[in-house]
Chains A and B, each alone.
Chain A
Amino acid sequence: MTSPTSTTLVDVRDLNVHFRVRRGLAASRSIKAVDGVSFELSPGQTLGIAGESGSGKSTVARTLVQIIRPTGGTISLDGEVVTNLKGSRLRRYRRRMQMVYQDPYDSLDPRMMIREAIGEALAVRGLAKSQHKDEVNQLLHRVNLPASVATRYPGQLSGGQRQRVSIARALAVNPEVIICDEAVAALDVSIRAQVLNLLKDIQRDTGVGYLFISHDLSTLRFMADHVAVMYVGRIVEYGTSDEVFANPLHPYTKALISAVPSVTSRGQMRLKLSGEPPDPGNPPSGCPFHPRCPEAIDECRRERPELLMTSSGQRVACHVVSARQRKESAKGSA
């Protein structure tokens, strides 16, 4: 694991989010939504988090903005530990990390004019009411929306327009990081491209860091500099976007990538992924992927694999890959 450098923007170590669920009067079990997750985000970069539903990626997002409190681990922003903030420190922190949500219909208050919705963020920033109008127009311009949108209501806008408003609102407080939680998943494909390009422009202009959460790998390929693949609350593969997509190591990653339709992959065999993601409250023993894994070996059933660095610089949590690595390095030194 690389140690956090002074250029690291967000540093997450061993994040744990365990929920206690009561069963009956006495017994209770814990659902490990996020189980020992660590990653870094550098300024001006995008970290993509991939995974299916139940992988814990949305929980990670919500923990970072402190909507959900983690049960363990640390989160640092710009070197400052921000894991369990309260009161005024929490309020000051909130401005630095913002979120754009999946549902364009529900993330804006239907009873508030767009101008008021963005104005709310400006008020948090401390901007005087007299200057709101101009700033709102500027922000709308930034997200390629006409100024006339300011006096409309969310119900009068399309999905793509609403997401742009959400982005404008997030930008209004000048955050250092923006978390996009499936921000384009609910949009039509043609609109999706526009919004993604917009996000890239903004990053180029302001140097804001993105944590981009998506189940859609083609989106991540486009947006992310680094990718972390999550499965049942853990990261199973982690590396630069190029590495992971060109040379996926973990069997789960391989299956996900092969499922993405691509113009170039002609006649390539699709790795079929059978079964469903397991219940996070009752994960399989050892490596949680082993029941569906085509390459599983004995050890996979017994022991949970650690996230280890490979010779190529990627990090993978897989016994099979580790075994292969050991064989190769043994061969190399022989």
Chain B
Amino acid sequence: MTGWLVRRTLQMLLVVFGVVTLAFVFAYIVPANPARMVAGPQASPAAVASIARQLGLDRSVWSQYLSFLGRLLHGNLGVSFALEGRTVASEIWGALPYTAVLAVGGIVWEIVIGIPAGIIAAYRPKSFIDRFATIGALFGLSAPPFWLGLMLIYFLAYKVSLFPINGVGHPLIWYMILPSFTLGIGGAAFYSRMVRTTVLQVLRSPFVEFARLKGMPERTILFRHVMRHALTPVITMLGMDLGYFLGGVLIIESIFGIPGVGQLAYNSISTLDVPMITGTVLVAAVFMVVMSFVVDVTYTFIDPRVRLNRAK
């Protein structure tokens, strides 16, 4: 078990390292004039030159790389020129809580809508509710989040003042309902279909049949056996959700005016604030790698088969 843990940790660190390197390559090697990208399109030639010196662009690639790593280790993600020299790191740190709340909200919607919908659809296959859930799921999967968000704002916040149109305020939850719903609906759609498939399989399995023959009440079967199997793929997917979310918040935060990491990235796009963009992407990627590691480790505690497999 410890053997596997050590290997997995090393692997995670290796991937983080690789991600960081990739970010370096794309930020400093690929662009024709990295200094200008960092300094910004408005900067004077003198400023660009000084930045070039700062980044050590006159030095070899290796020493640039090493100083890049060094800066990272000090938590220095660069300086955003668009925001009057505020550091990327501090901006991200400040924006993180809003994004976190949004993400949690999205997951809540996914679970609250997706899992019950999937279970109900599986218990009544081919029924009206099943078909309705399937169509809803397909819609949720295909609708681009930005369009959905705008529609929701139009109908629920503008036409009917049920929710605030945008921004954040008190109570935060109220302001987060629409955006987190928009974020989570895609995942909810995906989960509902996956849960439906898994539950259908489980309901047909021999041990459920046996439980029924034993006379176990349907509800107990549901909660004791079915749920456990339905949840396993969900937990796997929760890890991958992050990737989807981190992309989604970009657009959703900008539509709903939430000052999170996504909006930071969005704003930095229009100004082509490369340090901010690279900084956010790097943080997002590293976060994803760490999260997938956490999910992997959690798996060991949830699924005994996995635990035994890894202990060998």
Residues of A within 8 A of B (CB): 23-25
A23 to chain B, nearest CB (A): 7
Query: Complex Cα distance A23/B4, Å?
Result: 11
Residues of chain B at the chain A interface (Cβ within 8 Å): 3, 6, 312
| Shortest Cβ distance from A26 into B: residue | B3
For the complex formed, measure the closest distance between the CB of B271 and the CB atoms of chain A, giving whole angstroms.
51
Q: State the majority secondary structure of interface residues on A.
A: loop
The A/B interface has a contact count, at CB < 8 Å, of 5
> Which 3 interchain pairs have the tightest Cβ spacing?
A25-B3, A24-B3, A23-B312
Chain A residues with CB under 8 Å of B312's CB are 23-24
Residue of A nearest to B1 (CB): A24
Report the minimum CB–CB distance from B43 to chain A (whole Å).
53
Could you say which residues of chain A place their CB within 8 Å of the CB of B6? 25
Nearest opposing residue in chain B for A24, CB measure: B3
Alpha-carbon distance A307/B312, docked complex (angstroms): 37
Determine the chain B residues whose CB is within 8 A of the CB of A23 once the complex forms: 312
A23 to B3, CA, bound (A): 10
Q: How far is the CB of A195 from chain B (nearest CB, A)?
A: 37
CA distance A25 to B3 in the complex (A): 6
Which of chain B's residues have a CB closer than 8 A to the CB of A25?
A: 3, 6
Closest partner residue, chain A, to B7 (CB atom): A25
Q: Which residue of A lies closest to B6 (CB)?
A: A25
CB distance from A278 to the nearest CB of B (A): 20
Cα–Cα, bound, A166→B6 (Å): 48
Closest chain B CB from A24 CB (angstroms): 5
Bound CA span A24–B5, Å: 11
Give the shortest distance, in Å, between A119 (CB) and chain B (any CB): 42
The chain A residue with its CB closest to the CB of B311 is A24
Instruction: Quote the shortest CB–CB distance from B10 to chain A (angstroms).
Output: 12
Residues on A with C-beta less than 8 A from B3 are 24-25
The CA-CA distance from A23 to B311 in the complex, in Å, is 10
Cα distance A24–B6 when bound, in Å? 11
> What's the minimum C-beta distance from B9 to chain A, rounded to whole angstroms?
13
A24: B residues at CB distance < 8 A: 3, 312
Q: Chain B nearest CB: distance from A10 CB in Å?
A: 39
Complex: how many Å from CA A264 to CA B3? 59
Give Cα A291 to B159, complex, Å.
85
Complex Cα–Cα for A24 and B4 (A):
8
Closest CB-CB distance, A134 to chain B, in whole Å? 51
B13 CB to nearest A CB, Å? 17
Chain A minimum-CB-distance residue to B3: A25
A-B contact pairs, 5 of them (CB 8 A): A23-B312, A24-B3, A24-B312, A25-B3, A25-B6
